[in-house]
Structure 1
């Protein structure tokens, strides 16, 4: 046995639940928090989700051509297991519904500041994603009235669904497909909880060259903890091929995200619905425009045929003038008669009438059944925002401006007014169009009867003034041009586009206010002189977890170091520090910074010695803080038979022998700080006897392959291990209380 075992340790190993092989090497893998699903990204940039309990059954695969030039760099699940988030090399983040394989949201990084320092990292690739939900126990004292005071107004609950727009393009930036999504589907159940998706890239905006490598968040969303590698110039280590870093913990106060989370959640739901409605209006307006262009092109086909007659007869005239002469005299000119008999024909006339009539009806339908109801629904949502604007106590700090919301209402009302005018114009032109074709059809028939010396039929009841009006103003079917393009200001943004821009600006204003309320509360300098070259100290792995125990919140940081003589052999460290509660901060706000500087942290050093070969040490391949007590490690060592053995081991990190160190420190400019970092403080004490040797609670030797990566699901007691060749995985049940003889039917309860 190469591990030192606890006396009370369970000898039941991690139970093997399944093992699978894949064709392409796996780059990223994540376990669903609620179901027996795996989300996988291969090194060929193929993304798929599969069931793992029996055979590895893929339930969907992202199409290969989807964002082909944008590589997936990070992925994570929403806490309810219904949505996965993908982070890309371009900095984009895309959310996919697992059930429907549709993109439900797409986020893009802001443009890089042209004045950014030349030595800063400009890469915007998303290198980590974390999706958390506020702990429900943090809201147990919130009564039902507080939970529901911002819920959807009852009137909105009884509104009918918006009609599906025919031939509408997918709204990929929001809902995937407008034909399958409705406004009421965007409504969540009234709740006081909020989800938070945190993404990080290599361009940490911390006024230093920093790479965010890990993040966590407190259960009540009051703090975000980042771990960054901050570059600096080392006076000790000088190497042309090395890069000197320090590992820094940064604690951010989330500001409005914590103090106004109910209001933010309500606004985000309202903004999402408004986004849907503006896209719905835009798509409807585009369909109106497309049908109008189709009506114009059909009319142009028959008008252009008259131009052929003019060319054939070397004549100069206009079709409208010929029709007016025909209407006034009752006899067509030779040019018009040739056009009617040889080019338009009676069948062509009926086709012109049929297509034109269909276009008129289609445009009316788009306005009546789609765009105008969408505008009315949008006005209702905007009026709700007006009510929020008047609630200064709750919404003043969230960037919601009553005057700005009213300006969007004015734009929406202008669009409604324009739609009404369009309807009036369409109704008038439609009547004239029908009268024109009835007259022309009658005259067409009379021409045929005259050719055969037959008596003419009695003229139908036709309004000659409407026929004349149509010939004069609508023959080319261009009577709606002014509703789409303002001839006085052709560069003017169309109203539907303006609605989208202004609504996006409104939601962005709230987002900026929330982001700007996040403040750096403290730094903790963990270790200096991290080197990415051939010399110095290497940070191998790092994981973090926030644990709440008896109304006190602790930050646990586990990391592994190796490299120089100072940190050789490889060592495993666990740092524990506490966070101030809201009550502690509010009790003495003036001495808060002082109290931070006087706070203490605790740290432990875990000796990775091999029990069978005392002069040798384990090598850690991967590690994760599994839950609030247990840490899982993939460790490799040499046994007494000179064979290399890899195992998954479990230790209780919360009960390790911690030693107190001073800090954390308030460091405004890290490069100028002369503080001693946490790790160096411990090494300077030269008292490593106080620290803990590796004491394993349970372990299992991995015989299937040589492991390389560990992925865990602490909520369901599962661990997934990836092979070194990245083509094989095993899934283990880490619950040491289960019966070894439990059958597969009971194991299915994990689903």
Structure 2
């Protein structure tokens, strides 16, 4: 009589389970519910949920698989996309891993995911008296700030500040590299290095068969890939493809050298994009606060005189010129621009000014300079045409360097203009505070109100009233101008152009490798009696017999 293993633990889960996957290195279990909620459980000593994540995509989850190191999971969807999740995060996020071509009107669902090791040991030459780190320029640069940038103070006091998290800095890990194979229902296979970089693709599509990738198998030497497909047009017709991917092994050192730089560049791009978004929110904050001063002045002027065309900048310019306040503006100073309100406005606006400058000087510019350094390494590779000529073009790398140089130059211009704006604003605040004090002082004489010492920097105050009181002199750095001005692109547009140039530059390695990945053989066969659409899984679990064998036995 057969003996059964004893169940050592039992736990009733709150949700049904549609997909489950065990971590290859730890006692972790990933579960997917029918509602596509992903949950990670630790199973020892008892099952306990670590985190739960609801996917934001509308597409249905088809497959999940673990990275060989047990730290990451990839999720394949019905729309053909694949996301990556770092299981080590307490609050995990979905990160795009692969997205189908936007031109494809009917993307195929993911049908197979295989993630394997891609080992490589680089040979180190020990030359006596030579310091390998002597030319390491990165060590001479200041450390990139890991301090989370401050968000602007909310305009409405009851609103909470947005919580942001800097991207995780890539570590100089000695862990093995990996290859992720993604198969879909159109017979297409994508090869992703480390779950991040697309380095090649295979298309085994045939119109007469319309193959659906069922299973991908990779041997230890990674010289070839066996792909089992099922015909989408003929029931029970299967094809076993053998794909030669020996080029990946042959070009392994070049692939990994470029991917190492690409890892750093991707991190720096994410870091810059996040900090630039915070910079844009600070700009929006101080603009709204300064313009609110003008809006309130216009409201008070219209209350005093309905027929008047409210022009607060003109009224305040007159006040600056003669040193006295008109009757139209007196309630404005008495009720709204109190010394307490001025202090609050000053503190909030100055907070955004200072943090904007800090973002540029401590976060964005250092990241851009490091990107220039990494791109210069790729430039060096591109000049080594014998080894990297098939992967990098010098002109393409130079184009990326030029785009980031334009962004850096524009950031320096913005920092200079913002610093000057902060100076004019402080002169305005100092003057407006003195006006408020004079208005609120009932015992002050007319002579006291007309004292020349009332405004110490009239030129700076006048400049603020003309350029930033009802306008936004820095809008050209954040809002596209109409008509477009020469050399006045927004920071966001410049970063987008730099990204596009960068992605275009690194598309060549994938194209080069894809051209040399070919199908070397095919084996057609029929499996009678097996209807995959009636099976609980899309993969063929085992094959015990084929029709040709049955036919030969019957003939005997």
Task: Return the TM-score normalized by structure 1.
Answer: 0.61
Return the offset for 1:42. Answer: 4.0
Choose the corresponding residue for 1:357, options 338, 347, 350. 350
Number of the residue aligned with 1:598:
none
- Seen in structure 2, the aligned counterparts of structure 1 residues 59 and 506 have a Cα distance that, compared at 3 Å, is farther
Per-residue Cα deviation, 1:409-428 (whole angstroms, up to 9, x for no partner): 21211111111111211222
Q: Conserved in 2, the CA contact under 8 Å of 1:163 and 1:369?
A: no
Return the offset for 1:470. Answer: 2.1
Distance in 2 separating the partners of 1:364 and 1:477: 21
Number of the residue aligned with 1:291:
282
Choose the corresponding residue for 2:360, options 350, 364, 367. 367
Per-residue Cα deviation, 1:347-377 (whole angstroms, up to 9, x for no partner): 3333333333222212111111111111111
Distance in 2 separating the partners of 1:344 and 1:407: 51
Q: Conserved in 2, the CA contact under 8 Å of 1:260 and 1:394?
A: no
Distance in 1 separating the partners of 2:368 and 2:148: 14
Choose the corresponding residue for 2:479, options 476, 479, 485. 485
Choose the corresponding residue for 2:252, options 249, 261, 286. 261
Return the offset for 1:215. Answer: 0.8
- Seen in structure 2, the aligned counterparts of structure 1 residues 462 and 168 have a Cα distance that, compared at 3 Å, is closer
Number of the residue aligned with 1:74:
63
SS in 1 for 2:349: helix
Number of the residue aligned with 1:613:
none
Number of the residue aligned with 1:416:
408
Number of the residue aligned with 1:470:
464
- Seen in structure 2, the aligned counterparts of structure 1 residues 48 and 533 have a Cα distance that, compared at 3 Å, is closer
- Seen in structure 2, the aligned counterparts of structure 1 residues 395 and 14 have a Cα distance that, compared at 3 Å, is farther
Number of the residue aligned with 1:219:
220
Number of the residue aligned with 2:523:
524
Distance in 2 separating the partners of 1:540 and 1:467: 72
- Seen in structure 2, the aligned counterparts of structure 1 residues 321 and 53 have a Cα distance that, compared at 3 Å, is closer
Distance in 2 separating the partners of 1:53 and 1:361: 50
Q: Conserved in 1, the CA contact under 8 Å of 2:63 and 2:77?
A: yes
Q: Conserved in 2, the CA contact under 8 Å of 1:255 and 1:519?
A: no
Number of the residue aligned with 1:160:
143
Distance in 1 separating the partners of 2:350 and 2:16: 59
Matched, 1:201 2:184: yes
Q: Conserved in 1, the CA contact under 8 Å of 2:31 and 2:39?
A: yes
Number of the residue aligned with 2:112:
128
Q: Conserved in 1, the CA contact under 8 Å of 2:215 and 2:539?
A: no
Number of the residue aligned with 2:100:
110
Larger radius of gyration: 1
- Seen in structure 2, the aligned counterparts of structure 1 residues 258 and 323 have a Cα distance that, compared at 3 Å, is same
SS in 1 for 2:325: coil
Distance in 2 separating the partners of 1:84 and 1:321: 62
Matched, 1:307 2:291: no
Distance in 2 separating the partners of 1:405 and 1:377: 15
Quick check: which one's strand share is greater?
Answer: 1
- Seen in structure 2, the aligned counterparts of structure 1 residues 682 and 194 have a Cα distance that, compared at 3 Å, is farther
Choose the corresponding residue for 1:407, options 393, 399, 402. 399
Matched, 1:86 2:114: no
SS in 2 for 1:339: helix
- Seen in structure 2, the aligned counterparts of structure 1 residues 89 and 60 have a Cα distance that, compared at 3 Å, is farther
Per-residue Cα deviation, 1:439-495 (whole angstroms, up to 9, x for no partner): 232333334446455984973781222222222222235110112234233998711
Question: What are the equivalent positions in structure 2 for 1:662-673 lying under 5 Å apart?
Answer: none
Return the offset for 1:90. Answer: 2.4
Q: Conserved in 1, the CA contact under 8 Å of 2:108 and 2:185?
A: yes
Matched, 1:438 2:439: no
Choose the corresponding residue for 1:273, options 264, 268, 274. 264
Per-residue Cα deviation, 1:254-299 (whole angstroms, up to 9, x for no partner): 1542221222223223223212212221222222221111111111
Matched, 1:179 2:165: yes
Structure showing greater relative contact order (alpha-carbon pairs closer than 8 Å, 6 or more residues apart): 1
Task: Return the TM-score normalized by structure 2.
Answer: 0.80
Q: Where does the alignment leave 5 or more consecutive residues of structure 1 unmatched?
A: 3-12, 116-121, 170-176, 233-242, 544-557, 560-571, 574-677, 689-751
Distance in 1 separating the partners of 2:499 and 2:182: 26
Number of the residue aligned with 2:197:
none
Q: What is the aligned length?
A: 509
Distance in 1 separating the partners of 2:125 and 2:443: 85
- Seen in structure 2, the aligned counterparts of structure 1 residues 456 and 349 have a Cα distance that, compared at 3 Å, is same
Q: Where does the alignment leave 5 or more consecutive residues of structure 2 unmatched?
A: 127-131, 153-162, 188-202
Distance in 1 separating the partners of 2:362 and 2:293: 31
Q: Conserved in 2, the CA contact under 8 Å of 1:485 and 1:494?
A: no
Matched, 1:30 2:21: yes
Return the offset for 1:133. Answer: 0.7
SS in 2 for 1:280: helix
- Seen in structure 2, the aligned counterparts of structure 1 residues 470 and 108 have a Cα distance that, compared at 3 Å, is same
Which is worse superposed, 160-169 or 519-528?
A: 160-169
SS in 2 for 1:311: helix
Which is worse superposed, 383-392 or 16-25?
A: 16-25
Q: Conserved in 2, the CA contact under 8 Å of 1:247 and 1:528?
A: yes
Choose the corresponding residue for 1:383, options 364, 376, 401. 376
SS in 1 for 2:423: helix
Quick check: which one's helix share is greater?
Answer: 2
Distance in 2 separating the partners of 1:522 and 1:261: 24
Per-residue Cα deviation, 1:501-544 (whole angstroms, up to 9, x for no partner): 3333333443333333321111122337677499xxxx99745x
Distance in 1 separating the partners of 2:428 and 2:506: 50
- Seen in structure 2, the aligned counterparts of structure 1 residues 167 and 86 have a Cα distance that, compared at 3 Å, is farther
- Seen in structure 2, the aligned counterparts of structure 1 residues 327 and 52 have a Cα distance that, compared at 3 Å, is closer
Distance in 2 separating the partners of 1:316 and 1:21: 73
